[in-house]
A and B are shown apart, each in its own frame.
Chain A
Amino acid sequence: MEPIYITGCGIISAIGVGKEATLAALQSGTTGIGLMKYLPSCHIDLPVGEVQLSNHEMMQLLGISYDKRLTRTALMGRIALREALQEAGLEKKDLRTVPFISATTVGGMDQREAYYAQEPDCDALHASIATHHCGTCTEMIAEPFGPFASLATVSTACSSATNAIITAANMLRCGLADIVIAGGAECLTKFHLNGFNALMILDHEQCRPFDRDRAGLNLGEGAAYLVLESVRSIEQRGVTPLARLSGYGNACDAFHQTASSPNGDGAYHAMQEALQSAGLTPADIDYINAHGTGTINNDASESHAIQRLFGSNLPPVSSTKSFTGHTTSASGSIEAVFCLLALRHQFLPPNINWHNPMEDGIIPITQESKANCQKPKTNCHILSNAFGFGGNDSSIILSALP
Chain B
Amino acid sequence: MRKIYIQAAEQISMQQPLSEEWMQQPVWHQEAFVQAINPAFRDYMAPNEARRMGNLMKRALVTTLKVLSDTGIEYPDAIITGTCLGSLDYTERLLSAMVENGEEALSPTYFMQSTHNTVGSALAIYTKTHGYNTTYSHGCISFDLTILDAWMQMQLGHIRTALVGGHDEMVESYFRLLQNTGYVGSPGMVPCGEVAMSMMLTTDEHADNLCELAGISVGQCPDIDIHQVDVIMTGVNGQPANDALYQQLLAQWPEKPQIQYKHLFGENFTTSALGLYAAAHCLKQGSIPSFMLTADSVPLEHELRNILFVNCQGDSTNYILLKAV
Contacts and interface: CB of A to CB of B under 8 A. Distances in A.
Interface of A: 41-43, 99, 105, 107, 112-113, 116-117, 119-120, 122-124, 127-128, 130-131, 133-136, 138, 147, 149-157, 163, 166-167, 170-171, 173-174, 176, 190-192, 194-200, 250-258, 265-266, 269, 388-392
Given A153-B136, A157-B117, A392-B133, A42 B111 contact: no
A151 B316 contact: yes
Contact of B220 (A105, A133, A149, A154): A149
Given A167-B134, A173-B156, A174-B156, A199 B108 contact: yes
B266 interface: no
Contacts of A133: 84-85, 137, 139, 269
A198 B112 CA distance: 10
Contacts of A192: 111
Contacts of B103: 41-43, 190, 194
Nearest to B313: A135
Interface in B175-209: 176-178, 180-183
Interface centre among B177, B178, B269 (most CB of A within 10 A): B177
A389 B117 contact: yes
A347 B86 CA distance: 40
A388 B156 CA distance: 25
A390 B118 contact: yes
Contact of B120 (A123, A153, A176, A392): A392
B294 to A, nearest CB: 27
Contacts of A154: 134-137
Contact of B115 (A113, A127, A389): A389
A152 B121 contact: no
Contact of B152 (A122, A170, A199, A256): A170
A123 B158 CA distance: 48
A255 B125 contact: yes
Contacts of A123: 180
Contacts of A135: 84, 137-139, 141-142
A84 to B, nearest CB: 20
A112 B96 CA distance: 11
A113 B103 CA distance: 12
Contacts of A152: 136, 138, 141, 145, 218
Nearest to A164: B134
B122 A269 contact: no
Contacts of B142: 135, 153
A250 B158 CA distance: 11
B128 to A, nearest CB: 5
Interface in B51-75: none
Interface string B91-123: 100111011001110111001111111101110
A304 to B, nearest CB: 16
CB-based closest 7 A-B pairs? A390-B121, A150-B219, A195-B111, A127-B180, A135-B138, A198-B108, A155-B116
A199 B112 contact: yes
A397 to B, nearest CB: 16
A390 B156 contact: no
Given A171-B152, A257-B121, A124 B182 contact: yes
Contact of B153 (A105, A170, A257): A170
A197 B98 CA distance: 13
Nearest to A133: B84
Nearest to A123: B180
Contact of A257 (B84, B112, B183): B112
A153 B137 contact: yes
Most A-side CB within 10 Å, residue of B132, B156, B220: B132
A252 B177 contact: no
B125 A150 contact: no
Given A171-B152, A257-B121, A134 B138 contact: yes
Given A199-B112, A390-B117, A256 B107 contact: no
B174 A131 contact: yes
Contacts of B112: 195, 199, 257-258, 389
A254 B125 contact: yes
B124 interface: yes
B31 to A, nearest CB: 20
Contacts of A392: 117, 120-121, 133-135
Contacts of B137: 107, 133-135, 153-155
A170 B84 CA distance: 22
Contacts of A119: 173, 177
B180 A254 contact: no
B95 A250 contact: no
B181 A128 contact: yes
A254 B123 CA distance: 8
From B104, B112, B155, B174, residue with most partner A Cβ within 10 Å: B112
B149 interface: yes
Contacts of B114: 195
A107 B137 CA distance: 10
B131 interface: yes
A157 B111 CA distance: 12
14 contacts: A42-B102, A116-B96, A124-B180, A127-B180, A133-B139, A135-B138, A170-B152, A170-B156, A173-B156, A194-B106, A252-B132, A254-B121, A265-B130, A392-B117
